[in-house]
Amino acid sequence: MLLNQFLLLSAILFCIGVYGVIVRRNGVLVLMSIEIILNAVNINLVVFSTYWGIGGQVFALFIISIAAAEVGVGLAIVLLIYRNRRSIDIDELDELKG
Amino acid sequence: MTVDPTLLLAADGPVTFPILPALILTPLLGALAIFFVPARRDDAFKQIALLTSVVTGVLSIYLLTAFETGEAGFQFVVDQSWISEFGISFHLGVDGISLFLVVLTGVMFPIAIMGAKITHDIKSYYGWLLVLMAGSMGVFLALDLVVFFLFFEVVLVPMYFLIGLWGHGDRIYAATKFFLYTMLGGAFMLVAIVALAILNQRGVGGDLTFDLVQIAQNQAISTEAGRWIFVGFAIAFAVKVPVFPLHTWLPDAHTEAPTAGSVVLAAVMLKLGTYGFVRFGLYLLPEAAHWAAPVMLTLGVIGIIYGAICATMQKDLKRLVAYSSIAHLGFVILGVFSITTQGIEGGILIMVNHGIATGALFLLVGWIYERRHTRQISELSGLQKVAPVFAGVFTLVMLASIGVPGLNGFPGEFLALLGAFQTARWWAVVAVIGVILAALYLLWAYQRTFHGPVTPGNEHFRELRWSEGLVIAPLLALIVFLGVYPAVMLDRMGPSVDALVEHVDEQVDDFERVEITYVGASDIPEPGHDDDSDGPASDEHGEEGE
Amino acid sequence: MSTLLAALSQLAPDPGYSTPRIDWHGLAPEIVLSAGGALLVLLDAIKLERAKAWMPALANLTLLGTLIPILTLAVEGSTRSLFGGSFVVDPMSLLLKAMFLVVGYVVILLSTNYVAEGDYWESEYYTLLTTSILGMVVMASARDLLMIFVALELLSIPAYMLAAWRKGGRTSNEAGMKYYLMGVFASAILLYGMSLMYGVGRSTRLDVIAENLARPEMQSGVPIVTLAMVFIVVGFAFKVSAVPFHQWAPDTYEGAPTPVTAFLAVASKAAGFVALIQVVFYGFYVRPDIIEPLFFVLAVASMTVGNLIALRQTNVVRMLAYSGIAQAGFMLAPFVVVGDNFDSALSAVVIYLVIYAAMNLGAFAVIIAIARKTRSAEITSLGGLFSYMPGMTVAMTIFLASLTGIPPLGGWYAKFSVWSALLGAETALGVAMAIVMAVNTVIAAYYYLNIAKTMWFDDAPDGDVAPVKVPVGLTGAVGIALVATLVFGVLPGLLTDIAAFGPVSAALGGG
């Protein structure tokens, strides 16, 4: 079985996602990086579910739907910020000293 | 001692009235009443405070009369389960060691309330004072480690506000310093308490308990653990006493506190630490206390000498008295950690008598400040000519503080030195210097303040008022009475102290109990009789005529 | 019609499948809460202007109504296991559910005037709040990674929106955005950990995972176990704002509407802790060699860094944020002895959580009340408070004293139970943790004291000492928190009796 290769793929995707979250400055691109991490998660779950039964696939379905809701809210907030500031660069969010 | 948790029984015969909880609850109820009376009724607060504190004082004196002399164990015991999960219960009791501290608390608070005037935020002032009284009572009565800790911490808050709201000068700095120092000690003490209870449970088996008496009797923890736990307790108590390197909060707190605050701080609060050393050091952890005795004795002696030297150099009268407290409490530490019957008895005597004498001194200094709005020694001069009665009272109290035979300061210091001389000879020898220094700084301060020419500003120094005389009269009476007749205290505390030393003797292998050859506590040559015709006595008569 | 039925019968499950029996009583709290939430959405959708005024009352009624089945379940006192063990109703979970509901109730009391007077969408606010509380209530029973994840998202997503709720408020938007990005990133990491844990634990159910992790061949040489646990714990560490995953908290707390901040600082953080309790005490406790050092580092870092930064805050909300980080460190401390003192550690975390909720919520309630007059959250603006709001000053002093840990207020008992769990374990880590905690308690005392000092001793900065009228809802909120803080301190037996979860942990083989 190609378990290791799948896990490696998901690990690479995870790393790409984390890298994207850390270096991207554009709010929408950060959201996309997070989606990449979630895809890595889904690959893991589906691969493991070939061993341990249907639970992993169900989990993956839940993640897909909840991630959609999450991104919906995220885009709404990004839109809100764009309306108020005309920019979605998260580095410019500096009114609160952080 | 068997304890019936449902009934409130004394050790001997039923006393249906739960006097010990009443001692704590009465001031607490007073505080509650003050909280609910609307703030505009300014006059009511002092009356409520006075009423409840006097009732508490009367109860404490009743306790003194009902106390079974010659009994070593705890009396009037009350044991009510509180947090059964952890075996914590409201276990209260008094023995000869705590009895006089309870009475001292009961007596000093009404006097402090009567003796000091306050001009703003009257409501919270009296409320906090009563909470403080309840907390102090609780500390002396608690026989459960957690309950003890509870009261030990509770007294912090009212004291913080008393200093911070009604103090003088740099009051907020002093209050914060006081709070943080004591908090530091408290945090370590709670860790030590929890560790002690758990180790005790591991040692004995059975349920977890925080009961002081049970843990002290079991002595189930290892030597090394016991020593670490002692260090945890010792930090907390050393801050409260204060013992030498941890003393720096005291001069600030004392000096900046309002008069009533200084009085109760000196008379009662400082005793929480020394009492803690006796009860939670010697009784609870005898081996560790014996192990730490050389260090504690050294710190005590350093405190005596250091306090005396600092007091000599002070320009502020109140600060001088504050430093003298450090010296006096050094004697308590010296006596207690000599671990002899005489030394411990002496330590307890000093606790009580220092409370009376220094409390009175703070009252007098407070009254000087009310009249002159300064406490600088250099600005006061020739007061004796303007206010002879005031000066007479001051002389008597000052001589008591010096430890002149015939007044109450003497028997304690004498016994503490006597006890220390048995087991810690060289420490005692050095400590004697402190006695001489005490005479030096107090007499010198008296001379500068009351003798000399009447400088401008001091011509209209008001004589002692009748009301003030009435407030301080009980203290003067006690100063003389306990000076000539200390046996009234020694008889009651003797058995308990003997039992304590015996307890240490049983639990500590390399401890050698030193027996002194004289006959018994009540047969101490009463020092006062030789000096009846001495100066202080005549001053006292002068005061009574006033 | 008949063809439709025929088509449906085609879809019918195979004969081996039987409809699961559902324990409606056990699910009743969630059902009532969902129904209430749906009703709120409905009322909002038909846009009845008159209904708008009733929204907070209706939301409150929903929360109180949910307490009824919780009470009946508590009276019954049995442990119910639903959905094949993924959803467990036991005394501890009921206590936590009740806590979330009461916290929600108090937050709605805090919000009513704030939201009505400020520039906010009113009706949706209560819907979102109720939904978020539903997520927390589910979390208290979740014993399955999937269930925990769903509950976490259910409580988080409305919270992201609430943080950004002020109309056109740039700081509020920024707070929402920061919270959202951090939260989503954290849950992504958490999910990655969960997917790995599913791989090594062979199931999403925590009890099965524990069984599998406990097998001898899994005890060493499987780095993926460590990796999975670290990712999961880190994911929740964001949620509870533990150092070094705390950066979002102060900004979000400062920028969000203050009632929402109270909700985030108390309920949301508590929910994160509940999730940590579930995964650690029902799953990962079999590997204390990984869990204990991990939590030691998190706890020490949180309490120390949180306290040291809190020392130099000038804004009271930011100070509470950092003090909340330090308090999170205190709550993480019992996890350090999960392998050696299971029962005490579990009850210590739960007790601390409940008491922390009471006292911190109280502190926020007072701040909201004060801000009605001062319009500021700077510590200096609290000067002279005693002269014009004596009641609130006394209340705030009690909350601060409780946070400091002065008996006989709730906070001391929380610390006491943590200390007894730590020292009872008799491990080097436990003792070290206890000492670090003692030192931190004193540091914390300083900045709490500083606020008390300002309120009592300083003069009002603008010299205006006219008495301020506080709305009934706010007074009620402060009152509830005050009573809870006092009662838990004076009669902590109540709390330990309710949280009598010994049998549960015994059934799991812990302790």
**pLDDT tens for residues B146-159?**
899 999 888 888 88
Which residues, given as ranges, of chain C have pLDDT below 70? 1-17, 48, 496-511
Residue C415 sits at the chain B interface (C-beta within 8 Å): yes
Domain map of chain A by residue range? 3-91
Which of A18, A32, A70 is the mutation pick for testing C, counting most C CBs within 10 A? A70
Of C444, C220, C267, C421, the residue nearest C335 (C-alpha):
C421
Min Cα distance A77 → chain C (Å) is: 6
**From CA C270, how far away is CA C192, in angstroms rounded?**
23
Q: Please name the residue of chain A whose CA is at the shortest distance from the CA of residue C190.
A: A41
Residue from C161, C315, C320 nearest A97 by CA? C315
pLDDT at C507: 36
Chain C residues whose CB is inside 8 A of the A23 CB are none
pLDDT at B503: 86
**B515 Cβ partners below 8 Å, 6+ apart?**
none
Confidence of residue B527 (pLDDT cuts 50, 70, 90): low
A-chain CB neighbours of C146 within 8 Å are 55, 58-59, 62
Task: Give the minimum alpha-carbon distance from B150 to chain C in angstroms, rounded to a whole number.
Answer: 5
Q: 């503490």: which residue's tokens? A: B416
Dihedral sign from CA coordinates of B352, B355, B358, B364: negative
Tell whether C496 is within 8 A of chain B (Cβ).
yes
Query: Which of B198, B199, B209, B231 is the mutation pick for testing C, counting most C CBs within 10 A?
Result: B198
Contact (CB<8Å) A44/C198: yes
Dump pLDDT digits (tens) for C75-109.
Answer: 887 888 888 888 999 888 999 999 999 999 999 99
**CA–CA separation, C45 and C57 (whole Å):** 17
**Omega before B242 within 30 of 0, i.e. cis:** yes
* Cβ atoms of C343 and C505 closer than 8 Å: yes
Sort out which chain C residues have CB atoms less than 8 A from B84's CB and list them. 493
pLDDT of residue B517: 55
**Which residue's structure tokens are 């460190």?**
C329
Are C180 and A59 a contacting pair at CB < 8 A?
Answer: no
**Residue of chain C nearest B199, judged by CA positions:** C424
Q: Hey, are the CB atoms on B180 and C445 less than 8 Å from each other?
A: yes
User: Both tokens of residue B378?
Assistant: 């250099």
CA distance B366 to chain C (A): 22
Report CB contact under 8 Å: A63, C149.
Answer: yes
Q: Write out chain B residues lying below 8 Å of C413, CB-based.
A: 83
Please report the pLDDT score of residue C261 as a whole number.
92
Retrieve residue C108's tokens: 């709605």
Put simply, the answer to whether A55 touches C146 (Cβ < 8 Å) is yes
| Out of C406, C492, C496, closest to residue B156 by CB | C406
Closest chain C residue to the Cα of B189, Cα to Cα: C438
Check CB contact under 8 Å for C204 and A55: yes
Name residue B91's beta-bridge partners: B79
Which residues of B lie closer than 8 Å to C, measured between beta carbons? 39, 82-86, 146, 149-150, 153-154, 156-157, 160-161, 164-165, 171-172, 175-176, 179-180, 183-184, 187-188, 190-191, 194-195, 197-198, 202
d(Cα C31, Cα C39) in Å, to the nearest integer? 12
pLDDT in tens, A40-90: 999 999 999 998 888 899 999 999 999 999 999 999 988 888 888 777 777
Q: Which of B84, B172, B191 sits opposite C435 (nearest CB)?
A: B191
C494 touches chain B (CB under 8 A): no
Tell me the pLDDT band of B6, cut-offs 50, 70 and 90. Answer: very low
The Cα of C99 is separated from the nearest Cα of chain B by a number of Å equal to: 21
Buried b (16+ CB within 10 A) or exposed e, C59-89: bbebbeebbebbeebbeeeebbbbbeebbbb
Q: Is C493 exposed, middle or buried (0-12, 13-18, 19+ CB in 10 A)?
A: middle
Q: List C residues 170-189 in contact with A (Cβ-Cβ < 8 A).
A: 170-171, 173-178, 180-181, 184-185, 187-189
**Touching status, chains A and B (3+ beta-carbon pairs under 8 Å):** no
d(CA B109, CA B123): 17
- Mean pLDDT, residues B347-372 taken together: 89
pLDDT value at residue C272: 94
CB contact residues (below 8 A), chain A span 11-40, against chain C: 14, 17-18, 21, 27, 30-31, 34, 37-38, 40
Residue B534 per-residue DSSP state: S
Q: Determine whether C462 is exposed, middle or buried from the number of CB atoms within 10 Å of its CB (0-12, 13-18, 19+).
A: exposed
Pairing of strands B88-94, C80-82: unpaired
Q: Which two tokens stand for residue B440?
A: 């030096």
Tell me if A45 and C146 make a contact (CB, 8 A cut-off): no
Model pLDDT, residue B211: 87
Whether residue B93 is predicted with pLDDT greater than 50 in this model: the reply is yes
Is the pLDDT at B531 greater than 70? The verdict is: no
CB contact under 8 A, B86 and C406: no
Chain C: residue whose CA lies nearest to A54:
C203
Say how far apart CA A9 and CA A36 lie, in whole Å.
Answer: 12
Query: Which pLDDT score is estimated for C10?
Result: 60
User: Which residues of chain A make contact with C248, given a CB cutoff of 8 A?
Assistant: 98
Question: What is the rounded average pLDDT for all residues in chain B?
Answer: 82
Whether the CB of C426 is below 8 Å from some CB of chain B: the reply is yes
Whether B539 shows a pLDDT value over 60: the answer reads no
Distance CA C401, CA B161 (A): 13
Q: How far is A88 from chain C (nearest CA, A)?
A: 10
CB atoms within 10 A of CB B313: 10
Predicted local confidence at residue B113, as pLDDT? 86
Chain C residue with the nearest C-alpha to that of A75? C177
pLDDT confidence bin for B376, thresholds 50/70/90: confident
Q: For chain C, list the contacting chains (3+ Cβ pairs, <8 Å).
A: A, B
Task: Enter the DSSP assignment of B523.
Answer: G
Amino acid symbol at B322: A
> How many Å lie between the alpha carbon of C145 and the closest alpha carbon of chain A?
9
B450-471 average pLDDT score: 81
Which residue of A lies nearest to C183 if distances are taken between CA atoms? Answer: A70
> Tokens 């400091």 label which residue?
C404
Distance from CA of C490 to the nearest CA of B (A): 9
Please name the helix (run of DSSP H) or strand (run of DSSP E) that holds residue B77, with its range, or none.
Answer: strand B75-83
| List of residues 6+ apart from C260 with CB closer than 8 A | C111, C159, C162, C163, C165
C-alpha B172: how far from chain center? 24
For residue A54, the model assigns a pLDDT of: 87
Task: State how far residue C313 is from chain A, nearest Cα, in angstroms.
Answer: 11
The structural architecture, per CATH, of the domain A3-91 is Orthogonal Bundle (1.10)
Based on its alpha-carbon atoms, the radius of gyration of chain A, rounded to whole angstroms, reads 17
Chain C residue at shortest CA distance from A46: C195
3-state secondary structure of C48: coil
User: Which of C338, C318, C331, C473 lies closest to C403 in space, CA to CA?
Assistant: C331
Which chains have 3 or more CB–CB distances shorter than 8 Å to chain A? C
Written as six digits, the tokens of B175 are: 């209050």
Q: What is the DSSP string of C246-271?
A: -THHHHHHHHS-HHHHHHIIIIIHHH
A64 close contact with C: CB closer than 8 A: no
CA distance B381 to C237: 68
Q: Which residue matches tokens 């801050």?
A: B239
CB pairs under 8 A between B and C: 80
